[in-house]
Structure 1
Amino acid sequence: MNQKFSLKRIGLLLRRYFIENQNYEIYLWSILTIVFMIFRNGNSAGAILIGVGAVYAVRFFKVFNYTPNGIQYLMVPATQVEKIISVLLLNTVYFVLMFSIVFSVGNLIGNFLEKIIYGLSDPVASQFFHSSSGFEFNFEGLKNIWVSFGVFATIQAIFTLGSLYFKRNAILKTLLSLFVVGVALGILEYFIFKITIGSVTETLNALNAVDFVWDETMLPETLTETWKVYWKISGYLFIPFCWLVSYFRLTEKEI
């Protein structure tokens, strides 16, 4: 097989997925549409997006739970880079587009049926599709959408990586791993502030405070802004890092 990167092979991988999983996709679209006919609030949609998205993410490498299926997947004529990219497109880009469509359709149908049967109109559902600002571009709304997409993409990357490392119960094991890592980072953060500040009480106050205090004096604003930029950059780099590790893990399985 030609090892040169090929967009055509990525397209064939996507086509192969939809042919083999067309019934699953139809069921998923239908069930989510019905769910959003009932739950037409954006707050519930966020929780459903994260939950269903995580389940969707771990599906792609479940083939390795059963050795013959895993071998068959590795023998598919495509490079590991192309396979990783196809999974990225499916569980992040495609899933968000699909979710947006079923949420919109479910809202419209649910609101329409409620209006016909009960003579009521859900203002939340209506406001989702109408804007009093006309066609004015909402940059703040776009920023919120971008942040939400970033959070979702991070979760998808984490659970995809988890599905490559854990054969059974990938979601639970990934969540447990995240908990352990979170506790370890919390302990590390505590000791960093303990060494820096010196007092246990002041350390706990600093960890709970909005602004860190040193002898009743605010830290320089430049340091605070630098810290924010650092975490923002780290957040953006974490997603490609997870996918890069997933690529190496998939390559290990081939070996």
Structure 2
Amino acid sequence: MNNRFSFKRLLLLIQKQFSENVKLYLYGTLALLGLLAIVMFLWVLFGGNSYSGNTLFEFYLMGLFILGAIFASFSFSMLSSKDKGIYWLTLPASHGEKLACALFYNVLVFTVVYTLCYLLVAKGAAEYVSELVCKHPEKYHFYHINWSKPKGSSWEELRCVLYAFFAVQALYLLGSVYFKKYSFVFTTAVGALLIIAFIFFIKSLSASFNKYGATFDIVNAHGTANGVWQKEYFFNHTVSGIIIFLAKFIWAPFFWLVTWFRLREKEI
């Protein structure tokens, strides 16, 4: 087989995976709608008298990261079975095409389907709460997120979070190749270790910079006086810039590249 990347073969591979897993995807979508409906029902039930669009946004992000990581961790689950693994490895498609197919279903299909399901359910919940506010404005309040400005802070936050999500998703995609069993659990443990290692790395840089009178602390803190003395902790501007740069341009492509090399070396 020609190992050069072919979009025609990639399209056939995407169609093949869809035809083989159409029931799984359909049932998974229905289960996702049911899960989101339960979350929204609990939000309406226990929201009290004040509802916030920020809470809905947080639900969206939590589900995106958790469910996206779980979905990615099963992307190459066929490699844990000898029969399925041999069948998959002998498919007439290059490793790059197989990886591109996995990215298509993870990065594009999952993100779009999850977002559409969330918007459908969240819209119903938001309309119900808005109806409550209209009927009893003295009792209920609903604070919406202002999405009217394309360059507003909400859109900027969403964009940064999506960069981070694709990086996390790429890590779990790599984990599905490395770990034959309990991929999600082991990848989560590895991810936690990577975060700890990064923190220690930044702390060591901070110690080195402090020798020359410069500061490179991983967090800054300042006191606020709102009737009660308290401290607010936030990432150092330099550290935040490094994390954002890595999330935007390095982490996801790096994990995808390592996944591709790992697939080339894979044996059952």
TM above 0.5:
yes
Alignment RMSD = 3.5
Paired residue total: 234
Paired with 2:105 and 2:141, the residues of 1 have a C-alpha distance of 33
8 Å CA contact 2:69, 2:169 repeated in 1:
yes
In structure 2, the residue matched to 1:105 is 120
CA offsets per residue over residues 228-249 of structure 1, 9 Å max, x none? 6554333222110110000000
Aligned AA (2:190): S
8 Å CA contact 1:162, 1:170 repeated in 2:
yes
1:45 is the counterpart of 2:60: yes
Aligned residue runs from structure 1 range 24-173, under 5 A: 24-40=24-40, 41-110=56-125, 133=148, 137-140=149-152, 141-173=154-186
In structure 1, the residue matched to 2:206 is 193
TM score, norm. by length of structure 1: 0.77
Aligned AA (1:85): A
Aligned AA (2:244): K
Aligned AA (1:181): L
For residue 209 of structure 1, give the secondary structure of its aligned residue in structure 2. Answer: strand
Aligned AA (1:233): F
8 Å CA contact 1:54, 1:171 repeated in 2:
yes
Greater percentage in strand: 2
Aligned AA (2:31): I
Identity of aligned residues (%): 23
Return 5+ residue gaps in structure 2 as ranges.
41-55, 223-235
1:8 is the counterpart of 2:21: no
Q: CA deviation at 1:193?
A: 2.8
8 Å CA contact 1:114, 1:120 repeated in 2:
no
Q: CA deviation at 1:210?
A: 5.3
Q: 1:231 to 1:151 in 2, by over 3 A?
A: closer
8 Å CA contact 1:154, 1:239 repeated in 2:
yes
Q: 1:194 to 1:82 in 2, by over 3 A?
A: same
CA offsets per residue over residues 14-46 of structure 1, 9 Å max, x none? 111111111111111112212223334222221
8 Å CA contact 1:5, 1:82 repeated in 2:
yes
For residue 72 of structure 2, give the secondary structure of its aligned residue in structure 1. Answer: helix
CA offsets per residue over residues 197-236 of structure 1, 9 Å max, x none? 25xxx9999444259xxxxxxxxxxxx8776655433322
In structure 1, the residue matched to 2:251 is 238
8 Å CA contact 2:3, 2:94 repeated in 1:
yes
